[in-house]
Amino acid sequence: MTDTLFLRSEDLAGLADMEEYVDAVREGYRQQGPAEPRTKLVNQDPPGMLTSYVAILPETGAMGGYTYAAGFGEGDVHFMTPLFDAESGDPLAMLDGASMNPFKTGAVGGVGVDALARDDVETLAIVGSGAQARGQLRAAATVRDFATVNVYSPTKEHRESFASEMNGEVAASVGAVASSDAAVEGADVVVTATNASEPVFDGDLLEPGTHVTAMGQYDPEKRELDAQTLERATYVPDLRARATSDAGAFIQAMDEGRVTEDDIHGDLGEVLAGDVPGRQSDDEITVFDSGGTGIETVASAYMLYEKAFGSGLGETFDIAPGSEALTGR
């Protein structure tokens, strides 16, 4: 039997700050270990989806992934994160992934901003006002010193609540605006954190030198960015294979003949490892397409596992190796 650590959501909440997530995720992508785009199974009755993705971080020495069920009869979502030792193959931990989700997803956006945005940015636009938008703001604020954040989402109460809450959490002045156009115009960095199926702003509004992070394009039918944005921009997905499998905006722009696979500049790992350049001029428009991979999940989970183990958190349970369980030894 192998002792495996079980970490509940309450064990993980507050265990690490956003800067630690950003550092872990940056290092995870730099390693460029094996990773595959998500697999998603859709159920019609009851409506729901079962999603999974995996990655190996060879230098960290960890591997694992994310499996979550969303919808179905309860209309809720549950995140399971198995973590293994990448050398021995032994199970290290099982994490309830709920509390870390906005942090590890936000961290990827922060790494994208750090890798691709100008150093002198001042104004951040956020389209979306949910938990993921909060995570994106926290992460962006760890890698750049913004003076102003303008947030838009369709429900006035939601965007105003977001502004009120986040004003007390980040150094920038956070305000709610009445339209996505008002948020995007003049912004140095634009972050979209929605579940939209249609573009959430007009790509013609982007000023030269703007960086865009889109994190809600995890399905061929999802599309936060229009073809004009992608045609104008240097395009960097989190994982190269994702761009043509589930990155909705890029896939639909290809269908329209506005971009091709040759327009994939390189993925985030290639930029961080120096295999392809990041931003090459102050006038360049850049896009980071962050639809989600196992890389940020494993990187964040292993960072949390080490902190929890060192603090004596969680409880252990036994997992039988197949050599014993299959033979009955």
pLDDT tens, residue by residue, 49-85 = 999 999 999 999 999 999 999 999 988 999 999 999 9
pTM beyond 0.85, yes or no: yes
pLDDT tens, residue by residue, 81-137 = 999 999 999 999 999 988 899 999 999 999 999 999 999 999 999 999 999 999 999
- Cα dihedral 293, 298, 301, 307 in deg (nearest 10): -140
Which CATH fold topology does 107-289 show?
Rossmann fold (3.40.50)
pLDDT tens, residue by residue, 302-323 = 999 999 999 999 999 988 888 8
The fraction of the chain above a pLDDT of 90, given in percent, is 86
The whole-number average pLDDT for the span 230-237 is 97
pLDDT at 327 over 80: no
Beta strand 148-152 with 173-176 is: parallel
Q: If you average pLDDT over every residue of the chain, what do you get? A: 94
159 touches 153 (CB < 8 A): yes
Q: Where are the domains of the chain?
A: 2-101+294-325, 107-289
Residue 221's pLDDT is: 83
Which CATH fold topology does 2-101+294-325 show?
ornithine cyclodeaminase, domain 1 (3.30.1780)
pLDDT at 329 over 80: no
- Nearest-angstrom CA–CA distance, 251 and 234: 16
113 touches 210 (CB < 8 A): no
